[in-house]
Chain A
Amino acid sequence: MARIFHPRSALSTNPLKQSAPLGAALAYLGIEGSIPLFHGSQGCTAFALVSLVRHFKEAIPLQTTAMNEVSTILGGAEQIEEAIENLRKKSAPKFIGIASTALTETRGEDVAGELRAMRARRRDFDDTAIVYAATPDFSGGLEEGWARAVAAIIDALVPDRGMEHVGSRSHQVTLLAGSHLTPADVEEIVSLIRAFGLEPVVLPDISTSLDGHLGDTWSGTSLGGTRLADISRLGRSRHTLVIGESLRPAAEMLERRTAVPSSVFPSLTGLKCTDAFIETLMAIAAVRDVPERVKRDRSRLVDASLDAHFSIGGLRVAIGADPDLLFSLSGALTSLGADIVAAVATAATNPVLDRVPAEEVAVADLGELEARAAAAEAEILITHSHGRQAAARLGLPLVRAGFPIFDRLGTQDVCRVGYRGTRAFFTEIANAVLARDHRPHPSDFGAAPIEQEFEHARSQTASH
């Protein structure tokens, strides 16, 4: 049980957190034919857009209501309406996901009310699904924004239905995917579910929109994602699988609304966590045995763990991430004997923080992570790309995880879930450890240097 610590510092140094609207935008991008729309000034959108583009190396259809001084004071309803009208004209999106920002939330706009009034008035907007999530920048981070967007999508698009529909699509299961999952993670989970003869509806599904594929034509909306028709049919699933504790409120809402039973998996990284997931899939599919591929992958993970534990056992890890990712990665590493000597999270709303296997989790910034890593003599740093300065100063290897990762390619392909993803993760960490030059030196042991007399007089030139 980790102690949650809030440093009493007025100053945030090198932020770890990404804003909530950005997380909402990311979730919205996992819906088919979608355009996320920030309700705020245009700068809010521009920064988030640049972040997303740098991370995914993709054109991102992110738009803004472009609030100005006057509309901020008088109210932004018109700006929203105009934005929707323009987006429909320009790109004909099937889905517009609105995320509020600090600016509009500080003013206190009743966007939900305004939207209801607008939709009643503008019947021409009927063929565009419009979802709104309140995601002020000053409350929570990327993970909260994502979770609120997912809840908003469910609230707006999943009809209230009776029990009788549960399981009426007998192979269908719902997968609520947390913000800590990469497109490759989602893909792996989907393939595990399919291996049991089940057909998942993923919400939101960035594995088909942000996996980095080339479309046939230019599109001003997301290039894939969950189909709206599938969202409306979530009540007919047999079961809802929820990945990430942060999605529990959304899952509870879905369960209340549809009566489809759900299971929450705070982490799918690690042997035991994946075992639990497989066990649930076996139960849902009502099978006693699992596909050969799954068995093989499990035994390969066990073998890889044996090889990697020499490097990971006793490893002093400093990690900074959103709570779900923090919990997943630290849990997997401690299962191989690592010590999480410094843990920093972005926000404290996710109760999973209590269960992070560290003595203390600081809700703070990269400055705090750097200080703690130095004080605790960490041997490896795990966080997003902004951790590179700290890693350089501390002389530690940096394993990039989370958002944003702007100085590496292929972030969408990194898979750290399931038996296969866990295996890759352990190998990645062990290799980062092995890559450090461990050549010993006399001074490591307090031994005096060798006498000059013994040295060969002529200088040697070695080719390495």
Chain B
Amino acid sequence: MAQALQARIDAAFVEPACGVNRSKSDTQRRKGCAKALTPGAAAGGCAFDGAKIALQPIVDAAHLIHGALACEGNSWDNRSSASSGPTLYRTSFTTDLSELDIVMGHGEKKLFRAIREVIDRYSPPAVFVYSTCVPALVGDDIEAVCKAAAEKFGTPVIPVNAPGFVGSKNLGNKLAGQALLDHVIGTIEPERTTTTDINIVGDYNLSGELWQVKPLFDRLGIRILGSITGDARYRQVAMAHRARVTMLVCSKALVSLARQLEERYDIPWFEGSFYGISDTSQALRTLCRMLVERGASADLLPRCEALIAAEEARVRAALEPLRPRVAGRRVLLYTGGHKSWSVVSALQELGMEVVGTSMRKSTESDKDRVKTIMGDDSHMFENMAPKEMYQVLKSAGADVLMSGGRSQFVALKAKTPWVDVNQEKHKPYAGYAGMVKLVSAIDRAINNPMWAEIRDPAPWESRAAPGQVPSGRAASGDATDFEDC
């Protein structure tokens, strides 16, 4: 592993702003958070995956994956990050290294040629070049190639050095953030700035979630200057150093980026969430307060409060008709991070019972929040094996599972309703409007008449005596006997 890369990984692991890190003892901290993966029991994505997830939402850039086919060929076009304009980010570019390329050491040359072709054909504002395991192993120096290509072609070419084997998806997120800090942020000056320019960090505009919240900003006159990286243009990322405040949406992945934006450019940051009603209001409040502290007009605060009051009233009214349809239903929440608590309070408010929430990827403060909201920690659990989850659901321990795609089929095979709340989902659930969508989705899932039908026994599983044609089916019989058939 290149020494520079090792240094960056080490740096990522001693992140002072990281809640998990802060709560550790000195000895623990020195060990870093490189949790060794267990062979035969690992299922998550790799560092490359994480890096691509974090950067690919930059919609006008070309994203070129340097490696053998699997890294890109098996993973492209599988995320629902939405763009309001350019679509180049959805076009897949890879060097598709061959055996000969690897044996003969042609990787760097091929990469250079690939960069030239992509710039010739698409004129992107920038090319992101992602390393993968094989080029990292054989020692391709992608940083040198990117530097040479950028100079030669006059287009920024950004090396993203996060080969899969260095660690988890989360580490890949961090390395991607570091690449932005090292190569992109601060390279372009905006034509104008306002006192209400902000950065949104860690939101990827999945299914358009950023746009569920953006109208709120629009009405408050808040401008998203730097978007990292939902619906982002390359220029926006490059101008992020001129924002007044950074809102960090997904705390664990890009916390270093937010901290370094503060260190390098004096941009204060806070952590917030747009999942759930009170969280959305809280995020807006904090954002406005910090903007005013940094020189925005003081009337932003009362305007923000008025907006919150109006929006909360509106969303509560919209949720009211749904209440009787979901009240009393028991939810098993299997997600992690801030979602382990941010959705809980909203569901409780609707009379739903959260029977359990997983604390994967959650910080100590996430755990504290759960304890506060749910009274104690008896509903918290870490990971749950699919078999165990199947048993819980099969024995009707919950009416609905809310989770990511991986446990979807655990729920379905247990004939239990399932609502997708993870990043691969195709429905946006952010902000006030998103909450109504989420509860509608829960309603649609749990109240689907299908469940009763498929849980009923098959005809051969019931104990009717053979040889008797079921009564009431004669042609001359009562027509209503077949009410549903």
Contacts and interface: CB of A to CB of B under 8 A. Distances in A.
Contact of A309 (B448, B464, B468): B448
B235 A453 contact: yes
Q: Which among A252, A255, A445 has the highest number of chain B CB atoms within 10 Å? A: A445
B235 A454 contact: yes
Interface string A233-252: 00000011010010010011
B84 A462 contact: no
Contact of A460 (B60, B82, B459, B467): B60
A263 B473 contact: yes
Contact of B211 (A245, A298, A336, A440): A440
Given A447-B218, A454-B233, A261 B87 contact: no
A381 to B, nearest CB: 21
Contacts of A438: 426
How many A residues touch the partner, as a band?
Answer: 35 or more
Interface stretch (B31-39, B68-76, B380-388, B476-484): B476-484
A450 B231 contact: yes
Nearest to B214: A447
Interface residues of B, number: 64
A463 interface: yes
Nearest to A269: B485
Given A248-B475, A262-B475, A460 B124 contact: yes
B114 interface: no
A232 to B, nearest CB: 21
Given A445-B208, A460-B123, A282 B449 contact: no
Contacts of A288: 460, 466
A314 interface: yes
B318 interface: no
Interface string A302-338: 1101110100011000000000000000010011110
B466 A270 contact: no
Given A335-B450, A460-B86, A444 B211 contact: yes
Contact of B90 (A271, A445, A464): A464
A441 B231 CA distance: 10
Interface of B: 60, 82, 84-88, 90-91, 121-125, 190-192, 207-208, 211-212, 214-215, 218, 223, 231, 233-236, 239, 412, 415, 426, 428, 433, 440, 444-445, 447-450, 453-454, 456, 458-460, 464, 466-470, 473-476, 479, 482-485
Contacts of B208: 440-442, 444-445
A462 B215 CA distance: 29
Contacts of B460: 278, 282, 288-290, 295
Given A280-B469, A448-B214, A463-B91, A298 B433 contact: no
Nearest to B445: A313
Contacts, number: 192
Contacts of A460: 60, 86, 88, 122-124
Given A456-B235, A464-B91, A265 B482 contact: yes
B87 A337 contact: no
A204 interface: no
20 contacts: A240-B475, A255-B475, A263-B469, A264-B482, A271-B453, A273-B484, A278-B458, A283-B468, A288-B460, A289-B460, A305-B454, A335-B449, A336-B450, A440-B207, A442-B231, A448-B218, A449-B84, A455-B85, A456-B125, A458-B123
A309 B450 contact: yes
A459 B433 CA distance: 34
A461 B485 contact: no
Nearest to B216: A447
B459 A450 contact: no
Q: Which among B85, B215, B234, B236 has the highest number of chain A CB atoms within 10 Å? A: B85
Interface in A421-464: 438-442, 444-451, 453-456, 458-464
Given A287-B466, A337-B449, A462-B87, A453 B190 contact: yes
Contacts of A289: 460
A273 B84 contact: no
Given A270-B485, A280-B470, A295-B458, 5 more contacts: A272-B456, A313-B450, A450-B85, A453-B235, A456-B234
Given A309-B448, A453-B191, A460-B124, A445 B459 contact: no
A286 interface: yes
B469 A440 contact: no
A407 to B, nearest CB: 31
Q: Which among B84, B124, B464 has the highest number of chain A CB atoms within 10 Å? A: B84
Contact of B84 (A275, A278, A442): A442
Given A305-B454, A450-B231, A464-B87, A280 B211 contact: no
B117 to A, nearest CB: 12
Given A444-B208, A459-B123, A276 B469 contact: no
A351 interface: yes
Given A264-B473, A265-B482, A335 B233 contact: no
Q: Which among B208, B447, B456, B464 has the highest number of chain A CB atoms within 10 Å? A: B208
A455 B485 contact: no
Nearest to B420: A310
A271 B456 CA distance: 10
